[in-house]
A and B are shown apart, each in its own frame.
Chain A
């Protein structure tokens, strides 16, 4: 079956980010002070454990950033027709999760729906009962009450598989390290291998059974329209990551350029830039975002001809949100950089460079920018978790991502009313909570590790 590659704007940006990350990595490797700071991050156990978790999330997000449209079946000789629906590689990997929809709510590991319905039972006529699920626990057939044993056994098998896989990784890491320095134990390595491996073990022992089981059950239940909650969680990861990463990408150039220019040239340039960021700062963030998103909504609604698929429209709205968040959040970093540049430009080596007649831009690029890198890196890493949290709140308020796009905010919004039902539908909310908590906690811990490494003065 053929397919047509679809490249969304956010895909381009996210892969550009990956490329930029590799590029920055190469630059750092050539810059001894920065390399030394990153080495300190690498030696930090908590930092490396959370980095492993973050990488797992990023992997999910990257898989979800390769989009395509499947070819529809057509007679030979006919022109190929492609489906309207835009899918990603993650969708293809999680095809069972995506396609096996139930009618409506079902609890985690349930074999029956959560609401009574009138069903036909052969021999008994119509009765009101909880109907069997179409997919959840189907393989059990008549042995419906053996869910616990079956699930536990499957989980054990899968966990064992995950463990074996981990042993492979462990062996590889140990051999490579042994080759480098034969007597070294992993616990004493300069890089916190033990934390990484332990986290990897935890991830594998939990994730492998989770996905194995999700082939047979709805592990986190289903939502109102019968969609698997685990699938929604997986799809939300990309939205959160894009908001967190692309927004920083948007604000970074503006903050760095304006901050340095204001601090270095002073005078009217400084006044102007200070004026701009004070104005933006004086508008309460949520309100500025709300106003901008409202406006963008009008633009999108009045120009439906710009978008060929719903995915493109949702994607553009997501990017616009990133831009708006970026425009509201560059001011803080800009002010920090301006202050630091003011200090730097008075230092002797800058004045020596000026006396030699080095041009201003060259001084900025060669002498000032490298000395501000630690502030930039700290600010970037610290912002990420806040942005993921902000996305959830904004989407909940209705000024976040497109309502058709899965994100933690829209999930929570949909799940909110379910707590008022009798009996309570709790699983969507708990699953969204857990996934978001793990992501943001990992981001916070990693940010702490980075800050400690780059800014030893702060406690």
Chain B
């Protein structure tokens, strides 16, 4: 098992290097640092001196990949690629345009993101699996039919409308919770309820339909017929047999998401003014702060790869037949 995890981690390394190269190409090959300087400075203040100053201040005055002037190891390390991209592997993300340390900023913003994402994830999973199981239990009845109709309708509504509608109705008209903002410590819950609720509701449509399909697939299998044949009540068949066996396909989709919870949700956080990583990213996009966006891309891919490994490990816990060599 340990050997397997180590091998998977080693296998992840080339992928991370690939991610790094892709983002590097996106940010520096399509546009030269001169272009970036021109855009950041604005049309009026562009002079060759200003561009040079901007580049020196932020360390963009070096060659892209190979520094021919510097000798030895410095010819590789004294470059933009090493300074801006390669150092992310050791957690050095550099500074944002406003001069703040990105790594510290990420550390500060992780908790608010988790405070929203974790309850949304767990509650959402509970609600949708329960709903899907109920629909599968009453399969081929009017209840099932209208449930699916409801799911398709819910799927067709853009996430934007859930947020806008929920905020308007619950915060503005009924005045139950504050519209946006974030508090410290225990006070935070009042700010968290609405985003969590909206997060759960907006996910119901597609997830329920997906889980229902998985459950229905299990229902048609032989072991279920055997369980019924030996006289087990239908509820027991569902909760003991089908739910347990449907866990593998559900896990596949779910575990990958867990690390991404750290990233927060771009939309929810910026709408509700929650100082998490999602709103950080959106702000960086709007401010065209490339260093922050680049760091977030890197972290996002690290988390995704961790998620994939976690998925494989979780298989062994659910199904003892799966063993890793």
Contact = CB atoms under 8 A, between A and B. Distances in A.
Contact of A278 (B15, B153, B267, B293): B15
A131 interface: no
Contacts of A396: 160, 267
29 contacts: A275-B15, A276-B18, A282-B19, A283-B22, A283-B301, A287-B293, A287-B297, A287-B300, A291-B294, A291-B297, A292-B26, A294-B290, A295-B26, A295-B27, A295-B31, A297-B288, A299-B30, A302-B38, A393-B160, A393-B267, A396-B160, A397-B282, A399-B285, A409-B160, A419-B172, A440-B155, A441-B156, A444-B155, A459-B216
A160 interface: no
Given A408-B158, A459-B216, 19 more contacts: A279-B19, A282-B304, A282-B305, A283-B23, A283-B301, A287-B281, A287-B296, A287-B300, A290-B293, A291-B26, A295-B30, A298-B39, A299-B31, A302-B35, A393-B158, A393-B160, A440-B158, A441-B153, A444-B155
Which of A275, A276, A288, A408: most chain B CB closer than 10 A? A288
B161 interface: yes
Interface stretch (A72-80, A307-315, A330-338, A429-437): A429-437
B155 A283 contact: no
**A-B interface, 10 closest residue pairs, ranked by CB to CB distance from nearest:** A279-B18, A284-B300, A441-B156, A282-B301, A440-B156, A459-B216, A298-B31, A287-B297, A282-B304, A295-B30
Interface residues of B, number: 50
A292 B267 CA distance: 19
B152 A444 contact: yes
A176 B16 CA distance: 62
Interface string B300-320: 110011000000000000000
B23 A398 contact: no
Nearest to B267: A393
Contacts of B300: 283-284, 287
Given A397-B266, A397-B267, A429-B164, A459 B217 contact: yes
Contacts of B288: 294, 297
Contacts of B301: 282-284
Interface centre among A275, A279, A399, A409 (most CB of B within 10 A): A279
B309 to A, nearest CB: 12
A389 interface: yes
A345 interface: no
A458 interface: yes
- Overall SS of chain A's interface: helix
Interface string B184-226: 0000000000000000000000000000110011000000000
Nearest to B152: A444
A302 B156 contact: no
Contacts of A275: 14-15, 18
B156 A444 contact: yes
Nearest to B220: A459
A392 B160 contact: yes
A318 interface: no
Interface of B: 14-16, 18-19, 22-23, 26-27, 30-31, 35-36, 38-39, 152-153, 155-161, 164, 168, 172, 212-213, 216-217, 260, 263, 266-267, 270, 281-282, 285-286, 288, 290, 293-294, 296-297, 300-301, 304-305
Interface string A261-295: 00000000000000110111111101110111011
Nearest to A280: B22
A433 B297 contact: no
A20 B174 CA distance: 52
A69 interface: no
A161 B36 CA distance: 59
B297 A279 contact: no
Nearest to A447: B152
Given A279-B15, A397-B267, A291 B160 contact: no
Contacts of B217: 459
A291 B216 CA distance: 40
A448 interface: yes
Contacts of B16: 282
Given A283-B22, A419-B168, A458-B213, A298 B294 contact: no
B266 to A, nearest CB: 6
Contacts of A437: 156-157
A1 B316 CA distance: 74
Contacts of B212: 459
Interface in A408-437: 408-409, 412, 416, 419-420, 429, 433, 436-437
Contacts of A392: 158, 160
Nearest to B25: A295
A8 interface: no
Contacts of A412: 158, 160-161, 164
Contacts of B38: 302
Given A287-B296, A291-B23, A444-B152, A416 B266 contact: no
B198 to A, nearest CB: 14
A297 B293 CA distance: 15
B82 to A, nearest CB: 20
A385 interface: yes
Nearest to B40: A298
A301 interface: yes
A302 B285 CA distance: 18
A207 interface: no
A433 B153 CA distance: 13
Contacts of B15: 275, 278-279, 282
B299 to A, nearest CB: 9
A445 interface: yes
Contacts of A389: 158-159
A292 B16 CA distance: 18
